[in-house]
Structure formats: structure tokens, C-alpha cells
Homo-oligomer: A and B are copies of this chain.
Amino acid sequence: MTDSKHTVNFATPRKFIKTFKKDCKETFFPDDPFGKKKIQYFIPIFEWLPRYNLHLFRYDVLAGITITSLAIPQGISYAKLADLPPIIGLYSSFVPPLIYTVFGSSNNLAVGTVAACSLLMHETLGAVVSSKDDPTLYLHLIYTSTFFTGIFQTALGFCRLGILVDFLSHSTITGFMGGTAIIISLQQMKGILGLKNFTTRTDVVRVIQAIFHNRNEWKWQSFVAGLVFLCFLQVARYVRQRKPNLFWVSAISPMAVVAVGCLYAYLGHGEQHGIAIEGIAIGRSFAIIKNEQIDGNKEMIAYGFMNIIGSLTSCYLTTGPFSKTDVNVNSGCKTPMANVVQGFCMMLTLLFLAPIFSYTPLVALAAIIMSAMLGLINYEEMYHLYKVDKFDFAICMAAFFGVSFGSMDIGLLLSVGLSLLRALLYVARPAACKLGRLPNTSLYRDTEQYPETMSVEGILVLQLGSPVYFANCSYIRERILRYINEEDAVTEYRTEHILLDLSGVASIDMSGIDTFIELIRVLKGKHIKLGLVNPRIEVLEKMTLAKFVDVLGKQAFYLSIEEAIQSCRFTMDTSTKEEALGSSKTEDVV
């Protein structure tokens, strides 16, 4: 039971400079970097290397070799997607992993190139310079844009602007990845069907038109080979999903496809049967930070360094792709050392095996990319979103269809726009609810949620659950007045007191305080008294500074709903007695 000796704490508001410092810290340093040892925080290798031992190394070697077997075909395929020489894709899995080992903070993340960034670079830079007409300039632009992406990432990290990434919602990412997977898969039809002429556009309509427009170029040999490879890769993936300890089947399957493809092309002179061989292709660039949604400012800095140094060593844009990281975790990696092993294996590949990969048939690469992309279309998640939250589903679909039928930036803008609109609607139309007492308790709960609750005659208890400020204050005022009208319409008692439970109101601004003053004025006209329950420290400080506490009076602030109701009843009792009415009716109320 409430003990009346506790009262609302009207302490002197804290100094502005103190709260300002605290707010800045929460906004820009939520991970509290200065609470830890500095050098270990900024260069995490110092954290784990001193404790490193041979036992851990055994695990990391196995994981490193496994991810290399995935990195080689992925590197070649994605380089092709960016219209770059395959060797650039291999370089990109050599230097950047070494950098990440030093600056990266995740033990599981495996570094490499990703399909979406590769395609986006091609789309953006290819619009300026043709990779066919001026391959050297195109390559230089790729390096330059990788360099500036690195600078940009580092700057964002140092300026603690990782907060921007928080505005990419889970639904946006699901839709964006799905849409990207669709357009990248369709692009692969060129390789699978062995087409020579193709569109440079990426939207679904144009690509399908291009595929059917060039029907006379379709090569059945290529198509059969592509279908076989694709089926093999999909079966390997399916096996993995069913038996997680067979993860290596899926991990080495792309490598197997490349090996078989090379062998077939080399021995069978596949190019004579319509199977084109991947020569030194060339290329397009700018990168959207996509896979980094879970990484904070520190990871951003690590990626930045990775790309700055990478761009100086013939690498293009790298990040931490999900597929590789997944394999890395399943292969049992323990520390970022797995990335060092990957880099070392890649170096050996570059030294001794690179010439072999020049025989890789286009169709094998197309099948690898397509298979990887099909895994990114998360049907279950989309269906789940549809079931749980229709607005989230709409955000997801905006990204999905925007990317598929428009372009990657249209899809992203649409989806982020919808997400922000939703955030602003949350802000502009906060949920309020009417509270009633659960029988035989002192708990007050939402009357809609708990229909067994009982309301107290003449006292209306409302709960607000949002900051009260300019964007929602006039709505809140209207909503409260509407609650009073609704209450008066259904009960025979006149509302005499209104109690606002402010426990969920984290902050208030001047417009909000003005609204409360206006509300008091309106309520006075209706002979209703306002009481505020449990205002939080930030809210009470503002109210004290704005002299609102004096306007309302300290006696109208209560520590708990129970206490407030007892006080209101007392007032009502007294006034009823003063009116010299019998107390029989009042007994009911108490």
C-alpha cells in the first residue's frame, strides 16, 4: 500500500550543462567508448591477440580455409557483376580481411565483396564511363569511389553518426535485399542463356523485354549447364538447412561448380558449344552502406580503413557479407584471425592458382550469383511481416517493388520515406488509454485490455505514453477532452477529476507545457480538476522551470494513482458533505 510519507520529488532542476552533456553522450556515444580502455576499444586486436593461443588458432584455420573456398568463386562472380577483371575480386579478399583483423570488433564477421554494392557501383559509374570503351578510366573511378567511400565511412564513424544507420528498418532491409536479389538474378539470365546483347537497365520490365527480344541468341547448351549448376547449388543449400552440421557442403559447392566448369571448358572446348568463357572484363561505382545496419560507429571506422587501404591496393568495395559471415560462424571461427587465414589462402591462390580461373565459364558464375541471390529473398520474413504488422509489410514492399521495377535508390528512398512517415505518425498521434482499477488490487490498467477493471465514479484516469511536444500536443489536448465527453456520455456521474498518468511521458517541450496550461483553463470552465501522476525527472524539471508547477499547484502532483484517487475522493466527500447531501451515495464511491 502507498505510504503517504513519500511525495513527488520537486528537487531543483539539474544544471543545463549537466543534462546537455548527458544527452549528447546518449545520442552520440551510446556504446560508452570512454568507459573502457581506449587503445583496446579503438584497435580491438590489442584486446584479443594477447590472449590468443594455438587451440583457438586450430578453429580459425579451418574456418579461414572454408571461407576462402567461398571467397574465390564469390569474388570472381561479384567482380563480374561490377564489370571488373576477376582478379580484382580476388584481391578484394586478400588485403581488406587483414585490415579488418586489426580494427574490427566482431569475432565472426568475414570480409568480402557483396553483390548489391558491386551492381550499384556498376550502375552508377557505368552511367558515366563505359567499361568497354575506357577500361582504365573505369578502373580508376572504381578505386577512387572505393577510397571516398572509405573516407566517408571513417568520417561517419568518427563523427558518431552511426545514428543515421538506425533509420534503416528491418523491413526496409528485407525488402531492399529481396528486390536487389530479383534484379541481380534476372541480370544473370544473360550468362545462363549465353546472350551476347543485353540491356544496361536493371528494372524487371526492361530486363525481361531484353531477354525475350534476343530469343535468337539463346544457347541451349549454356542453359542446360546453368540449370544443372543452379540445381546442384540449391540442393547443397537445402541439405545445409536440413542438416546444419553439413554446412561445408553448401560452403564448397560454389568452388565445386567453378572447378567442374573450368574442367569442362578446358577439356571440352565449351566455348565452341555456346558456353562463353570469362575473360578479363572491365567496369562502374558508389556504395550504399547496406549490410552494416547492426554495426556501430566503431565498425564503420573499421570498414572505412579497410576501403581506404583496399583502394590503394587494387581492391574494390568490401564489407562484411552475410553469406560469408554465416559460413565463418558455422565453420567454428573463434577470432578475427580467420580473416588472416583467408587473406593468406587468397595470397596463395593469387600466386599459384589464378591462371586456372581464367577458364571459369560465365554460366558457372551466373549460376553461383543466382543461387546466392535466391537465398536473399526472404519469403518467410515477408509473410511474417504481413501477418504481424501491415505497415511494416508496406514498408518492405515499397523497397522490394521500388528496387525491382524502378531502381535501387528509388526503392530505398520510398521505403525510408515510409518508415520516417510512420515514425512521425507515432510522434504525432501517440496512444493514450483510459485506466481502471483491477478488483482487489491497487493496480490501474487499460480498460480495453483488462475488461474486468472498474472505473471510479467521477474520476477519469488516463495514461499518456509518449513525449508531449509540439507535434502531438494539440492532439493530446483534443483527445483528453474527447475522453471526458465519452465518459460523460456513458456514466450518470459527472467527471469531477481527471488524472493523467505521466509515467510513460519521457519528455516535454514548451508547446507541451502550454498545452497543459490551456487544458487547465478549459477544464476549469467545466469544473474539472486536473491531477498529474508520477511525472518523470525530465518532465518535472521543465515544469518547474516553466513555473507550471506553481500554476497547477504542488498538491496536484501525485506519486501514484492510488494516492491521487484517495485525495480526489476526499475532496469529493468534503464537497458532497458541504452540500449537505446524505452520505449514502458517497459511501458507494468509497
Contact B2 A470 (CB under 8 A): no
Q: Can you list, as one digit per residue, whether each of A511-544 has a CB less than 8 Å from chain B (1) or not (0)? A: 1011000000000000000000010111010100
Contact B431 A506 (CB under 8 A): yes
What is the bound-complex CA distance between A490 and B441, given in angstroms?
Answer: 35
What is the bound-complex CA distance between A20 and B394, given in angstroms?
Answer: 13
Contact B427 A426 (CB under 8 A): yes
Contact B429 A388 (CB under 8 A): no
Q: Is A168 positioned at the interface, with any CB of B under 8 Å from its CB? A: yes
Interfacial chain B residues near A167, Cβ < 8 Å: 424, 428, 470-471
Instruction: Determine, out of A56-64, A319-327, A347-355, A459-467, the stretch whose residues face the partner at the interface.
Output: A459-467
What is the bound-complex CA distance between A69 and B76, given in angstroms?
Answer: 83
What is the bound-complex CA distance between A71 and B277, given in angstroms?
Answer: 85
Nearest 6 interchain pairs by C-beta: A504-B504, A169-B470, A170-B511, A465-B506, A431-B506, A449-B537
Which of B32, B169, B429, B449 lies in contact with A26, CB distance below 8 A?
A: B429
Q: A389-B509, A466-B466, A475-B30 are in contact. Are A536 and B443 (CB under 8 A)?
A: no
- Give the shortest distance, in Å, between A542 (CB) and chain B (any CB): 6
Q: Can you list, as one digit per residue, whether each of A363-394 has a CB less than 8 Å from chain B (1) or not (0)? A: 00000000000000000000011011111100
Contact A16 B542 (CB under 8 A): no
Known: A27-B428, A167-B424, A426-B506. 12 other contacts (CB 8 A): A11-B449, A32-B482, A166-B471, A170-B514, A172-B470, A387-B545, A388-B510, A389-B509, A430-B506, A449-B536, A449-B540, A504-B506
- Give residues in A with beta carbon < 8 Å to B: 1-3, 5-6, 9, 11, 16, 20, 23, 26-27, 30-32, 163, 166-172, 294, 296, 384-385, 387-392, 419-420, 422-431, 433, 438-443, 445-446, 448-450, 452, 463, 465-467, 469-472, 474-475, 478-479, 482, 503-507, 509-511, 513-514, 534, 536-538, 540, 542, 545-546, 559-560
Q: A438-B3, A503-B503, A536-B446 are in contact. Are A27 and B425 (CB under 8 A)?
A: yes
Contact B2 A441 (CB under 8 A): yes
Which of B392, B506, B511 lies in contact with A466, CB distance below 8 A?
A: B506
Contact B443 A559 (CB under 8 A): yes
Contact B429 A30 (CB under 8 A): yes
Contact A445 B559 (CB under 8 A): yes
Counting every copy of the chain, the complex holds 2
8 A-B Cβ contacts within 8 A? A3-B439, A166-B475, A167-B424, A388-B542, A419-B471, A442-B442, A445-B559, A504-B505
Interfacial chain B residues near A169, Cβ < 8 Å: 469-471, 509-511
What is the bound-complex CA distance between A509 and B422, given in angstroms?
Answer: 10
Q: A9-B450, A166-B470, A443-B6 are in contact. Are A463 and B546 (CB under 8 A)?
A: no
Interfacial chain B residues near A514, Cβ < 8 Å: 170
What is the bound-complex CA distance between A506 and B387, given in angstroms?
Answer: 20
Interfacial chain B residues near A430, Cβ < 8 Å: 506
- Give the shortest distance, in Å, between A566 (CB) and chain B (any CB): 14
Contact A503 B506 (CB under 8 A): no
Which of B163, B170, B479 lies in contact with A510, CB distance below 8 A?
A: B170
- Give the shortest distance, in Å, between A17 (CB) and chain B (any CB): 10
Contact A537 B448 (CB under 8 A): yes
Contact A511 B171 (CB under 8 A): yes
Interfacial chain B residues near A16, Cβ < 8 Å: 390
Which of B171, B431, B446 lies in contact with A507, CB distance below 8 A?
A: B431
Q: A389-B542, A429-B26, A475-B30 are in contact. Are A470 and B506 (CB under 8 A)?
A: no
What is the bound-complex CA distance between A482 and B26, given in angstroms?
Answer: 11
- Give the shortest distance, in Å, between A297 (CB) and chain B (any CB): 11
Interfacial chain B residues near A482, Cβ < 8 Å: 30-32
What is the bound-complex CA distance between A443 and B442, given in angstroms?
Answer: 10
- Give the shortest distance, in Å, between A470 (CB) and chain B (any CB): 3
- Give the shortest distance, in Å, between A194 (CB) and chain B (any CB): 41
What is the bound-complex CA distance between A514 and B385, given in angstroms?
Answer: 12
In chain B, what residue has the closest Cβ to A541?
B388
- Give the shortest distance, in Å, between A415 (CB) and chain B (any CB): 11
Contact A478 B168 (CB under 8 A): no
Interfacial chain B residues near A294, Cβ < 8 Å: 474
What is the bound-complex CA distance between A389 and B539, given in angstroms?
Answer: 11
- Give the shortest distance, in Å, between A381 (CB) and chain B (any CB): 9
Interfacial chain B residues near A441, Cβ < 8 Å: 1-3, 6, 560
Interfacial chain B residues near A429, Cβ < 8 Å: 23, 26-27, 30, 163
- Give the shortest distance, in Å, between A124 (CB) and chain B (any CB): 26
What is the bound-complex CA distance between A441 and B427, given in angstroms?
Answer: 34
Interfacial chain B residues near A387, Cβ < 8 Å: 545
- Give the shortest distance, in Å, between A265 (CB) and chain B (any CB): 44
Contact B3 A431 (CB under 8 A): no
In chain B, what residue has the closest Cβ to A546?
B388
Interfacial chain B residues near A504, Cβ < 8 Å: 465, 503-506
Interfacial chain B residues near A172, Cβ < 8 Å: 470
